Amino acid sequence: MERRPRSFYVLAAFFGLFVLFLYGPILTIGILSFQGPGGGLTFPMNGVSTYWFRDLFQEQAVGDIWGAFRRSFGLGLMVMITTVVISVMAGLAFRKKFRGSGILFYAAITSLVIPSILISLGVGLIFNQLGLKVHWATSGFGAQLTWTLPFGLLIMFAVFNRFDKSYEEAARDQGATAWQTIRHVVLPIIAPSLIGVALFGFTLSYDEFARTLLTAGSYNTLPLEIFGMTTNVTTPVIYALGTLTTIFSFGIIAAFLLAVWIMGKRRARLGSDAGRGV
Amino acid sequence: MTRNRHLLGWLEAAPLAVILLGFLIAPIVMIVIVSFWGATEFSIYPDFQFENYAFLFSSPVTYKVFGATFKYAFITWAFTLSIGFTVAYFLAFHIRSQTVQIALFLVCTIPFWTSNIIRMISWIPFLGRNGIANQTLISWGVIDEPLEWLLYSDFSVILAFVHLYTLFMVVPIFNTMMRIDKSLLEAARDNGASGLQTLLHVILPLTKPGIMIGTIFVVTLVMGDFITVRFMSGSQRANVGRLISNDIGLLQYPSASATAVVLLCTVLIMIAILLRFVNIRKEL
């Protein structure tokens, strides 16, 4: 093995600092959330306790954290499933280079780069003028999709750019119908990437703030609830909440990554099961 | 058969098209319409007047706030690009094992899937008056009294932007770097190029598409932001997003809409310029 150049160690140190920069703050509030009952928002630690976590499970003076969590979780699942289904369909569509696909593609890119507050404001205005009530499951749901779908679509582009068309041709030559080809050949091959799309769909929705702000209505999602707390909660209870929801996010991410990993292992052992459909 | 292809394509793309029509195009159209409406203290009424725009362009606040927005975007861009490029370069060219490479790449991307609000809140114990930074600097004897400008300042706003958005640079730059044919680097070295020359004359030009995509992300995210500036500056700084959200808070939807239209045009023009340098669909 070639010897490492000196620049390697400099860059490795830089990378280490970058990782510290990324994770340091969140670790700090993780530690601070174990403040003693009299502790404040900064160090020093005033004893160590789980007081603030227990406090979270008690009746809060403001808001409804657990209701917000349930709503965010439900909305995340809704957005996740919708994002996967719509992205796959659109990914398949874009391979056909249908007329007008360019416009649709630019609309999707616009959806990604448009300042989020415009979606919030515009959707809010439309619902308002139509006399409809904004609600997290209707206007909030649609507004979040404008954020998750472009990511799903870009992942599908990346997937299909690397897709070997000969698998499909082989299936067709053997007499598979268009639907059978998709169901038994294409979908199994792209399955791991779909887990990636699902991960984006769920986590981006679960943490979405700006596009949900004016579109969630009177029942807050968790990020809105947390933001509300920042203005009137001055105890480490907010750190405890931050720690819990971050641990929850890490758990979700780990579950998705594990699923991809297991799928890869299985595939390496058995070979692709694409085309083995009954 | 070809008609069939177009039809089938549209059928498969229909759900995407419907969502974008209903929740992207229609809201933009609505904002443009409302930007010509009038407003009283409590309500808005349909009208066709240019007063909202006239007021916007005649107010010195507008120019100041747009200036601040560009300033945030530019400084954040410079930092995220230099940090992101260095990190991506390290991952792509200095890590030899693919497993380690994937693992480290994931380490960089995982924060993206967690809450931005929490990541902002998590800076408070660091930057506050009695925070870790001040305590450390005082104990080292670097300063005698706590620095006041660490939190609720331009500094903390930009720090948070860099913290939140650097990975939008790392991912596309890493992606393009991984496609660079390694034999090009060997060729450069065989011809006597130094490490720095290879970096500047081979790697940097080939990484340009990734840099452009990262730039588009960072610039648009910072330009459209309203929450980071509000939270990290303790409401003491303003950008265009905050101007809009303040108007919304006062129920001045027409004036918020006019500002939003101008912001959208600014962002789209910048992207159109950036897109001249890169073909996104080819880069994925």
Contact A250 B110 (CB under 8 A): yes
Q: How many CB pairs under 8 A join A and B?
A: 258
**Domains delineated in chain B:** 62-283 (1.10.3720.10)
Tell me what pLDDT residue B189 has: 86
Nearest to A121 among B12, B128, B257 (CB): B257
Tell me the shortest Cα–Cα distance from A212 to chain B, in angstroms.
12
The residue with greater pLDDT, B279 or A105, is: A105
Tell me the shortest Cα–Cα distance from A25 to chain B, in angstroms.
5
Q: Please give the residue range of the domain that contains residue A218.
A: 65-270
Nearest to B30 among A98, A122, A239 (CB): A122
Contact B118 A210 (CB under 8 A): no
DSSP B157-173: HHHHHHHHHHHHHHHHH
Contact A104 B16 (CB under 8 A): yes
Q: pLDDT tens-digit profile of A13-43?
A: 999 999 999 998 888 888 888 887 877 777 7
Tell me what pLDDT residue A240 has: 87
What is the rounded average pLDDT for all residues in chain A?
87
Question: Residue A177: how many CB atoms within 10 A of its CB?
Answer: 10
DSSP chain B: -HHHHHHHHHHHHHHHHHHHIIIIIHHHHHHHHHTT-EE-SS-EE-----HHHHHHHH-HHHHHHHHHHHHHHHHHHHHHHHHHHHHHHHHHHT---HHHHHHHHHHHHGGGGS-HHHHHHTTHHHHSTTSHHHHHHHHTTS-SS--SSSSSSHHHHHHHHHHHHHHHHHHHHHHHHHTS-HHHHHHHHHTT--HHHHIIIIIHHHTHHHHHHHHHHHHHHHHH--HHHHHHTTT-S--HHHHHHHHHHTT-HHHHHHHHHHHHHHHHHHHHHHHTT--HHHH-
Question: Residue A266: how many CB atoms within 10 A of its CB?
Answer: 12
DSSP A12-63: HHHHHHHHHHHHHHHHHHHHHTTB-TT--SSSSP-SB-SHHHHHHHSPPSSS
Q: Does some domain include residue A185?
A: yes
Contact A110 B24 (CB under 8 A): yes
Tell me the shortest Cα–Cα distance from B58 to chain A, in angstroms.
23
Pick from B3, B5, B11, B19 the residue to mutate for testing the A interface (most A CBs within 10 Å).
B19
Give the whole-number percent of chain B exceeding pLDDT 70.
97
Tell me what pLDDT residue B3 has: 63
Tell me the shortest Cα–Cα distance from A232 to chain B, in angstroms.
13
Instruction: Output the furthest CA–CA distance in chain B (Å, rounded).
Output: 79
Q: pLDDT tens-digit profile of B249-264?
A: 888 899 999 999 999 9
Tokens of A18: 């970058």
Q: Does some domain include residue A15?
A: no
ipTM of the predicted assembly exceeds 0.90: no
Q: Does some domain include residue A6?
A: no
Q: How many residues does chain B have?
A: 284
Q: Does some domain include residue A240?
A: yes
Q: Name the domain count of chain A.
A: 1
Task: Give me the CATH number covering residue A173.
Answer: 1.10.3720.10
Tell me what pLDDT residue B2 has: 57
Pick from B18, B43, B109, B117 the residue to mutate for testing the A interface (most A CBs within 10 Å).
B117
Q: pLDDT tens-digit profile of B3-50?
A: 678 888 888 899 999 999 999 999 999 999 999 998 887 788 888 888
CA A148, CA A255: separation in Å to the nearest integer? 19
Residue with tokens 């998709």: A182
Q: Does some domain include residue A39?
A: no
Give the whole-number percent of chain B exceeding pLDDT 90.
45
Q: pLDDT tens-digit profile of B145-178?
A: 888 888 888 999 999 999 999 999 999 999 999 9
Contact A121 B122 (CB under 8 A): no
Residues 232-251 of A with CB under 8 A from B: 238-239, 242, 245-246, 249-250
Residue with tokens 């107010």: B59
What is the rounded average pLDDT for all residues in chain B?
89
Contact B125 A29 (CB under 8 A): yes
Nearest to A118 among B7, B12, B31 (CB): B31
Contact A85 B6 (CB under 8 A): no
Q: pLDDT tens-digit profile of B223-250?
A: 989 889 988 888 888 899 999 999 988 8
Residue ranges in chain A modelled with pLDDT below 50: 278
Chain A hits for B267, CB-CB cut-off 8 Å, are 113-115
CA B91, CA A12: separation in Å to the nearest integer? 9
Contact B20 A146 (CB under 8 A): yes
Contact A99 B6 (CB under 8 A): yes
DSSP A106-150: HHHHHHHHS-HHHHHHHHHHHHHHTTPPP-IIIIIHHHHHHHHHH
